[in-house]
Chains A and B, each alone.
Chain A
Amino acid sequence: MTALSELDNVAVPDRWAQITERAAQSETELGVFEVSARRHQWLVPAAVAATAALVMVGAVASRSDRGETVTAGTTPPLAEAPPEATPTASPEGSLPLSSGPFAVPILVDGGIGREGLLQWVWTELLAWPGDPSWEDVDGLPRASHPETDRSPTVSLVPDGEGWAIVGIFGVSGIRPLLDDDANLAGFARLGTPSSEVESVEVLEIASPADSRSLSLTGWDDEVIELATPIEARAARSYVVITRDQAGEAVDINGWAFGRPDRLDLDLDELLSEPGVADPISVPLGVDLGGRLEPPRRLAAVWPGVDAYISPLEDRSALCLSLVEPDGSGARTCAYASDFNQHGIKFGTHAEDEDPWIVLVVPESAQLGDLGDATVHPSGLVIAWTAPGTAVQVGDRFELFDGVLQPSRDEPAERAITPPTETTSDGTLAAPVPSPGESDSDLEELSITAVDGAAPTQLASTAVVLEVEEVGVVEVGEPPASLLADAPELQGAECTATESGYTCPFTRPDGTGGSRSGSSESGPFFSSSRIPPHGAYFLIEVGRAVVIGGIGDDVAVVEIDVADVIYHLRPVAGVVAAPLDPSVDAITVRARDQNGTQLWSEPITFPDPADQAVSAG
């Protein structure tokens, strides 16, 4: 019988030599800008960091691509906060591909359309048999076919009147190797090369009708080397196909060359002086010639905290450093591979704090492009400006209906309002003041189901969450006090409701039983109690829980949107109603007495199997 303990059978190599070598290497690479770290967590004051979702609009060199995020795991913050491996913005295939020098697609469809382009990838590029079905996974088409277990994902975006593929992702990954002249010399291989690979082919592709195979000098599990380094060319993509003995493609990975492996950023142009809202030019392709700029100070983003941005010495990453008045600080870095059409997003998540996010977005990005940024809805502060927008330093924005919109009446210099305290165990906490509003203004909490393009408000008097089992509020092991009285419950998994608890158990002889009791004497478990009376709605965005209902009607839905927690006070008038299983997203809105929307938060359900309400 398979069990978790089978993991113990997996052989693990001794990596200590690799670790020490890497640690020594990191010391060298991080010599550009050191900030002493004397704190346990990120230096941002807790009360500020808890709400800070900051957008710095600047200009970056970026490419539209989403697949090569694997290199983001080497973020080297200096403080004790754990490294956040992927501070990337979430790309959306449905978003318009931003114009600008970074927006060169891998492939254009040449008039054959989206389906035709996908079919071409399968039949011509991969030469795989049959007619695959394509399903959207995280907004990207992913192929599957019963005759093969290969399931490439294609990053597909609208491009003018046609479609463009900006990435093809197989089991493993590739990363371009550049020579000293920034020519493409080959590819580093990431992931686990298949043992059945017998040959490797590298194609340079301009369109389905215009491609060529490149000569290789060799390849192994780590490197694929081109016979002759080639100059980076816009509107060209490079696809690495590995084949088995029969010549069948077993893996494929694409790379848009214009996406830099090293950042060619000119910070002098990228960043203006603090507080200056002058337009910023796009420095893509500017060769720094080995120059190393000093850290550039950004506009003050939090009171007393200085923010700097600087490149790593090898120019492989752009780092954001924050320094407190006492000199302590921390840094997080985003690598070239973290860039996409939305720019680059720095983020961290200190213990017991909500995440904060800093976005540096391309010059050409429009506010709407930022709509998918998973940011704290209490407000965004635009600390930097971008040409083509009316944004000024300090402007404040909020997310409405998933789109970044100017705040209605927020002063530019308004301090970020921290949320009320959150608890670590998921219990209902004090209400969160909505942006700029007192929580006492919260009059209505309505929930709207998003089905296709037309949001439909189901009912403001309904919790649109199906209740699979009612009244279950907690699942866990029996408390010690109960075990002392009933040792047969050792290892049992109990469920507790408002009215009582039940603990099914199995005796050593295999027979089963159940022990039940009343919870009147107090909470059965020490944490996460739902108020026994009255309506309430608890939302934990990104932490997996949405709970709503009145009294015993408890609904729990797993979500995974953003690492942001909202704790709301009980809201009257919210009762239960079924949620159509086909609904894959809801929007939660809060309004004041005048009907003015205080905030809005879309919530998606990425795992349909988890949409059912928890029984616990």
Chain B
Amino acid sequence: MVIDRGVVAGSVSSAAERLYLEDGARLERSILGAFGDPEIAGEAVAEAFAQLLRRGDEVRDPKAWVWRSAFAIARGLCSGPVAAHVIPDTPVDQPQWPFDLLAALDELSPRQREAVVLHHYAGWPLRDVAVFTGSTVGALKVHLSRGRRRLRERLGEEGMR
């Protein structure tokens, strides 16, 4: 799940870089799943980590902060009238592009989609997901319940795996 840069121990220059190597790929894939656009996912991750770098020690919990920020940025990038409804073209270098999964996720409401991805794919506890999405645990459970139901209708029981 980590980014493979062939980095050896000791060559990583900062905690932020370590966090990126450990979480960057999963974060970007999560945003892809939540918002459906690889460009937005890459942009959101890059911007969030850049701002994390700029803040330095001001951020007490960099991992949670960068996840929350990246999703907030992606949310903004997707706020145009079309972006939220368009499944982008497949990147040419992505032979295993998850067409069906992204199409199924696209049928969820934005809140459901974020909740499902953050909780069931990225593995964040509900309380953290609530913070990331600006929601509440109670509301999230409703989103998750409906999101799971829709995904199962579309993908079958294995959809949540």
Contacts and interface: CB of A to CB of B under 8 A. Distances in A.
Interface in B36-63: 37-39, 42-51, 53-55, 58-60
Contacts of A83: 47-48, 51, 69, 72-73
Interface in A309-336: none
Contact of A169 (B74, B80, B131, B137): B80
A69 B76 contact: yes
Interface stretch (A18-26, A99-107, A387-395, A572-580): A18-26
Given A14-B3, A22-B47, A426-B137, A614 B79 contact: no
B99 to A, nearest CB: 9
B159 A151 contact: no
In the complex, which range does the number of interface residues on chain A fall in?
Answer: 35 or more
Say whether chain A's binding surface is mostly helix, strand, loop, or mixed. loop
B10 interface: no
Nearest to B111: A544
A6 B92 CA distance: 17
B37 A192 contact: yes
A191 interface: yes
Interface in B110-161: 110-111, 116-117, 120-121, 127, 130-131, 134-139, 141-146, 148, 155-156, 158-161
Contact of A70 (B3, B77, B97): B77
Interface stretch (A84-92, A122-130, A198-206, A430-438): A84-92
A37 B88 CA distance: 38
Contacts of A27: 54
Contacts of A192: 37-39, 88-89, 91
A171 interface: yes
B125 to A, nearest CB: 11
A5 interface: yes
B161 A76 contact: no
Contacts of B139: 426, 540, 543-545
Contacts of A556: 142
A406 interface: no
Nearest to A428: B138
Given A80-B59, A83-B69, A88-B79, A7 B30 contact: yes
B80 A69 contact: yes
Given A80-B60, A610-B109, A6 B98 contact: yes
A275 interface: no
Contact of B134 (A73, A425, A527, A563): A563
Interface residues of B, number: 89
A614 B98 contact: no
A2 B135 contact: no
Contacts of B93: 11
A40 B60 contact: yes
A10 B98 contact: yes
B48 to A, nearest CB: 8
Given A5-B121, A426-B138, A12 B88 contact: no
Contacts of B148: 493
A1 interface: yes
Contacts of B72: 82-85
Contact of B141 (A10, A476, A565): A476
Given A4-B117, A85-B75, A66 B98 contact: no
Contacts of A420: none
A543 B136 contact: yes
A424 interface: yes
Contacts of B127: 424
A485 interface: no
Contacts of A540: 136, 139
Given A2-B101, A3-B155, 7 more contacts: A15-B20, A18-B46, A19-B20, A27-B54, A37-B55, A424-B130, A527-B138
28 contacts: A1-B155, A2-B98, A2-B158, A3-B159, A5-B121, A7-B98, A7-B101, A15-B24, A26-B51, A70-B77, A70-B83, A73-B74, A76-B51, A84-B76, A85-B76, A86-B76, A151-B85, A151-B86, A192-B88, A192-B89, A426-B139, A544-B142, A558-B111, A560-B109, A563-B134, A614-B142, A614-B145, A614-B146
